[in-house]
Amino acid sequence: MPRHTTSIVWFRRDLRLNDHVALERAATESERVVCAFVLDPVLLRGPHTGAPIVSVFFGSLAELRAGLRERGSDLALLEGDALAELRTLARRTGATALYYNLDYEPHARERDEHVAAGFRADGAHVAASIDHVYYGADEACKPDGSPYTVFTPYKRRWLERRETDPRPPVLSLAAVERKLARAEAIGPTRDVPAPEAYGHARSPHYPRGGEANARRILDAFVSSGIGAYAERRNEPAVDGTSRLSPHLRAGTIGIRTCVAAAAEARRVARGTAAGGADTWTSELIWREFYQQILAHFPHVAREPFVAAARNLEFRDSQSDFEAWSQARTGYPIVDAALVQLNTTGWMHNRLRMIVASFLTKHLLLDYRLGERYFEQRLADADLAANNGGWQWTASTGTDAAPYFRIFNPVLQSKKFDPNGDFIRSMLPALAKLDASSIHAPWLLPPLAAAAAGVRLGRDYPPPIVDHRLARERALATYAPVFRLPRRA
Ligand SMILES: Cc1cc2nc3c(=O)[nH]c(=O)nc-3n(C[C@H](O)[C@H](O)[C@H](O)COP(=O)(O)OP(=O)(O)OC[C@H]3O[C@@H](n4cnc5c(N)ncnc54)[C@H](O)[C@@H]3O)c2cc1C
């Protein structure tokens, strides 16, 4: 029997109607469900939010609202202080319960505790669910209950738990449809604003949000891409990865749906194709790993996970940072990657590692500068994954690359973009260089370069640093710091 007459489901990073734990719970426990989202103008205009992610979220909100309207309901789109707005909605609709899905980001936890305390003080029921991750931060821990800080044992534990405690997608839509509050009961609602209202420009090149789009991408990947994923996931010139990250970030697809799709692909596949599904599942577990790191060690949002790394003395060079972020380092693979980021709001994982290594080791700049830059430019910008990726590369994080691992950008380029196709697609100035010279154009004799239309310093910059010297400088800086005893 339903316990509540009317409940509110507060949507945040879960902009979908299917496989939605809070929605399913609310519908099971209530006679009527009101769906709401609260726009936070401070966050939307703030330094941690960029145009690509706003574009994905607003597109997804518009689709969510359309989906609710098709079913005779609506999305209560509010703006301002979450507690004040949700309280007013509760009074208007007579809601006596609030449901939402947990978010491990420190500012979200603080906000949620405040809202939950306010609702409880009003005598309302509050329920927070695990939804954004397959297993919550306390559900895949060591036998003594402490969190894992190394990926491989975490993954082993995660996979073991799935044997006995699988989490299939929750079939919320069918269950909730008849429980959705009628639009009249919610009252007039506003339109989804344009990103420009918060200072964000639109671009047709940014990923498109929406639950239907996410489902299409997953289906296409599972039917044709996942089999070759293990072999092709490192080549930026090919479409070898799912590109679901903006959707997993905005929650337009459920993590249980993704894990189940990979398991089904594995079941029907044979040999190496099954390996693709396993490798992809492993990447989803990396996402979970960093989520639980952030939940248990929130200090990583501000400073290195490894205490010794807090003594690292980074260089301070605005001009080097600008050369990196504006794709003018003179290393084609680095510059091509930054062009991809700056124009499309997405960057291939291999390239994220290469450019992060370049910023933190070659230029010896603080990883937090790169982390902030990614935050503003990525459509999938996610505190846990972004911080995890940067701290891994900078060797300051948990289970990170050892400090002496310094990617050679030319070797990486030759290995993962052997024909230079990706570089050519992003850097038209180098389009006429062949595979033997495109990875390091400064080595080409000036006449040969001019024949290919490249005059170094005019059409394309010379390298900002020499690889060998930069490597030595990084080792000299990192080595003494990491000889100090490590403490988490
Ligand atoms: C410096 C750096 C910064 C990063 N910043 C982010 C970020 O802000 N947001 C983000 O979602 N990912 C981030 N990643 C991880 C990874 O690069 C992206 O998730 C991936 O490129 C997204 O493309 P895809 O959806 O095609 O991935 P696929 O290869 O298809 O993987 C499927 C999903 O698994 C998850 N995933 C894959 N690799 C990782 C990883 N290493 N860590 C955590 N989750 C992973 C993502 O949700 C991804 O969508 C970062 C990596 C690095 C090295």
Residue 364: CATH number of its domain: 1.10.579.10
The candidate with the shortest Cα–Cα distance to 173, out of 67, 269, 255, 89, is 67
Indicate the top mutation candidate among 48, 245, 278 to test ligand 1's pocket, ranked by most ligand atoms within 8 A of CB: 245
Atom from ligand 1 closest to the CA of residue 347: 21
Phi, psi of 164 (to 5 degrees): -105, -20
User: What does the pLDDT average to over 59-73?
Assistant: 97
Residue 188 falls within a domain, yes or no? no
Residues with CB under 6 A from ligand 1: 233, 241-245, 248-249, 283-284, 286-287, 290, 349, 352-353, 356, 374, 378, 380-382, 385-386, 388-390, 393
> For 91-100, what is the mean pLDDT?
98
Co-location of 122 and 150 in the same domain: no
Identify whether 197 is part of a domain: no
CA of 18 to the centre of ligand 1 (A): 23
Domain hosting 86: range is 4-132
pLDDT for residue 288 is more than 70: yes
Let me know whether 114 and 152 are in one domain.
Answer: no
Over 50: is that where the pLDDT of 460 sits? yes
Looking at the structure, do residues 115 and 146 belong to the same domain, yes or no? no
- pLDDT tens-place string over residues 372-400: 999 999 999 999 999 999 999 999 999 88
Atom 33 in ligand 1: which residue has the minimum CA distance?
284
pLDDT for 270: 72
Q: How many angstroms is it from 378 CA to the middle of ligand 1?
A: 11
What pLDDT sits at residue 175?
77
Q: Ligand 1 centre and the CA of 358: distance in Å?
A: 18
Q: Is 195 a member of any domain?
A: no
Atom of ligand 1 nearest to the CA of 382: 8
Report the range of poorest mean pLDDT among 133-137, 171-175, 194-198, 237-241: 171-175
Same domain as 326, residue 414: yes
CA distance 182 to 180: 6
For residue 227, the Cα-to-chain-centroid distance in whole angstroms is 23
Which of 296, 331, 359 terminates a domain? The answer is 296
Helix, strand, coil percent values for the chain (each to nearest 5): 55, 10, 40
Q: What is the mean pLDDT of residues 118-136?
A: 98
Q: Lowest-pLDDT range, 141-150, 394-403, 421-430?
A: 394-403
CA–CA separation, 482 vs 307, rounded Å? Answer: 10
Question: Which tens digits make up the pLDDT trace of 17-49?
Answer: 999 999 999 999 999 999 999 999 999 999 999
CA of 250 to the centre of ligand 1 (A): 14
Query: Could you tell me if 254 and 315 lie in one domain?
Result: no
Other beta carbons within 10 angstroms of residue 79's beta carbon come to 13
Q: Is the pLDDT of residue 257 over 60?
A: yes
Distance 266 CA to ligand 1 centre (A): 21
> What's the predicted TM-score (pTM) here?
0.97
Q: Bridge-partner residues for 35, per DSSP?
A: 9, 75
pLDDT of residue 484: 53
Same-domain pairing of 349 and 442: yes
Q: How far does Cα 447 stand from its chain's mean position? A: 44
Banded model confidence at residue 272, pLDDT cuts 50, 70, 90: low
In this prediction, residue 483 carries a pLDDT of: 78
Q: Please, what is the average pLDDT of the chain?
A: 96
**Mutation to probe ligand 1, out of 357, 358, 380 (largest number of atoms < 8 A from CB):** 380
Which among 49, 131, 35 has a CA at the least distance from the CA of 78?
A: 35
* Residue closest by Cα to atom 43 of ligand 1: 287
CATH number at 86 reads: 3.40.50.620
Percentage of the chain modeled with pLDDT above 70: 98
- Which residues make beta-bridge pairs with 310? none
pLDDT reading at 488 higher than 70: no
For the chain, what is the domain count? 3
Q: Could you report the per-residue pLDDT of 183-207, keeping only the tens digit for each? A: 999 999 999 999 999 999 999 999 9
Cα–ligand 1 centroid distance for 135 (angstroms): 18
If you average pLDDT over residues 232-255, what whole number do you get? 97
Mean pLDDT value of segment 246-252: 98
Average pLDDT over residues 110-119: 98
CATH label of the domain that carries residue 250: 1.25.40.80
Q: What is the pLDDT of residue 344?
A: 98
Whether residue 225 is found in the same domain as residue 165? yes
The mean pLDDT of 290-308, rounded to a whole number, is: 97
Whole-number percent of the chain with pLDDT over 90 = 93
Reported confidence tier of residue 1, pLDDT bands at 50, 70, 90:
low
- Dig out the tokens for 443 from the structure: 């080595």
Which residue puts its alpha carbon closest to atom 26 of ligand 1?
A: 243
* pLDDT value of residue 225: 87
What is the 171 CA–ligand 1 centroid distance (Å)?
Answer: 26
Top-confidence residue, 350 or 268: 350
Atom of ligand 1 nearest to the CA of 380: 9
Mean pLDDT of 328-349: 98
Identify the pLDDT of residue 394: 96
CA of 394 to the centre of ligand 1 (A): 16
- Provide the pLDDT for residue 173: 82
Position 289 scores a pLDDT of: 98
Check whether residue 450 and residue 476 sit in a common domain.
Answer: yes
